[in-house]
């Protein structure tokens, strides 16, 4: 297979999320909600994502003025709705999600045309404050709060057109230093240049429809990464200004079902 070598955005390892502390935090929130008020719910959910990146001043690309577009993916996981006010008006919603983020880019150069995609699979923990209003049968809500994610792995594609020739390659995005004498098309994302940690904020809203003992939830959310995950290319020849402010941007649309666990 012809290997297409292109510099592209990749992620740098800062510190791994302490997962044991994360699960302990979620368990504490759940216990607090269950002990305090009437209705705790567990929410299995899944849906689609549309993700891209923010990159002022063409940060992260060796090509000038690339056209960066959204990349579709999926999200799935579980959340908990933990009422803080007895009337259910205010609650906290921690979640544990498997979510895809990434981008698609096109660029025209002097020698040809490049189309590339990079997707990254994250384990993400949002902790959202939620305000609920409406009737028992139809409830509306808005939510917002911080999120913390850790990149697990990913995939890439490269398609290059050089006159009458078309070259393509695809493979895995692997978060570690490239081994000596490595073969194959996998891309190794050095911790010197790419961060696996993605801290950000999320906000959105949705509607809950009473169905059976629980409620069907339709949720729309926007996630804005605050962590700069790109620190430079592998040759370290980009100016400092071109390494800054490359962050994830994600729209997520999910369908879930809130299952009441009982309460007072």
Residue 188: CB atoms within 10 A of its CB come to 16
Gap between the Cα atoms of 52 and 168, Å rounded? 22
Interval 225-249: pLDDT, tens = 999 887 655 444 444 445 556 899 9
CA separation, residue 149 to residues 32, 71, 194, 229 (Å): 24, 18, 14, 12
CA 133, distance to chain mean position in Å, is 28
**pTM of the model as a whole:** 0.80
Q: How big is the chain, counted in residues?
A: 264
**Which residues does 246 contact at the CB level (< 8 Å), separation at least 6?**
9, 53, 54, 55, 59, 60, 228, 229, 230
Question: So what's the pLDDT on residue 66?
Answer: 78
Lowest mean pLDDT among 49-53, 169-173, 204-208, 251-255: 169-173
Residue 105: CB atoms within 10 A of its CB come to 23
Q: Are 201 and 146 in contact (CB under 8 A)?
A: yes
Residue 21 has pLDDT above 70, yes or no: no
Identify the CATH number of the domain defined by range 19-260.
Answer: 2.40.160.20
Gap between the Cα atoms of 7 and 55, Å rounded? 15
Compute the average pLDDT of residues 154-165: 88
Sole residue written with tokens 């709705």: 81
| Mean per-residue pLDDT over the chain, rounded | 81
The better pLDDT of the pair 105, 182 is held by 105
Question: So what's the pLDDT on residue 189?
Answer: 86
Task: Write the secondary structure of 99-154 as one string of H (helix), E (strand) and C (coil).
Answer: EEEEEEEEEECCCCEEEEEEEEEEEEEEEEEEEEEECCCEEEEEEEEEEEEEEEEE
Question: So what's the pLDDT on residue 27?
Answer: 55
């Amino acid at each position: 297979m012809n290997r297409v070598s292109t510099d592209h955005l990749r992620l740098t390892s800062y510190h791994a999320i302490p997962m044991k502390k994360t699960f302990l935090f979620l368990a504490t929130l759940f216990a607090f909600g269950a002990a305090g008020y009437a209705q705790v719910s567990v929410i299995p959910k899944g849906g689609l994502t549309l993700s891209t990146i923010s990159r002022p001043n063409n940060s992260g690309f060796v090509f000038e003025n690339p056209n960066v577009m959204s990349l579709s993916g999926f999200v799935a996981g579980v959340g908990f709705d933990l009422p803080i006010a007895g009337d259910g008006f205010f609650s906290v919603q921690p979640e544990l999600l498997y979510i895809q983020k990434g981008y698609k880019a096109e660029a025209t150069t002097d020698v040809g045309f490049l189309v590339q995609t990079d997707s990254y699979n994250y384990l993400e923990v949002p902790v959202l404050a939620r305000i609920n209003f409406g009737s028992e049968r139809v409830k509306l809500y808005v939510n917002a709060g911080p999120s913390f994610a850790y990149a697990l792995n990913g995939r890439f594609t490269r398609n290059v057109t050089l006159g009458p020739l078309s070259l393509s390659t695809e493979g895995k995005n692997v978060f570690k230093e490239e081994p000596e004498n490595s073969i194959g098309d996998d891309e190794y994302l050095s911790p010197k240049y790419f961060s696996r940690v993605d801290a950000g904020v999320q906000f959105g809203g949705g509607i809950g429809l009473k169905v059976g003992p629980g409620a069907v939830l339709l949720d729309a959310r926007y996630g804005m990464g605050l962590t700069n995950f790109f620190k430079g290319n592998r040759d370290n020849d980009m100016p400092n200004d071109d390494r800054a402010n490359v962050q994830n941007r994600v729209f997520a649309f999910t369908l879930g079902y809130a299952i009441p666990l009982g309460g007072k």
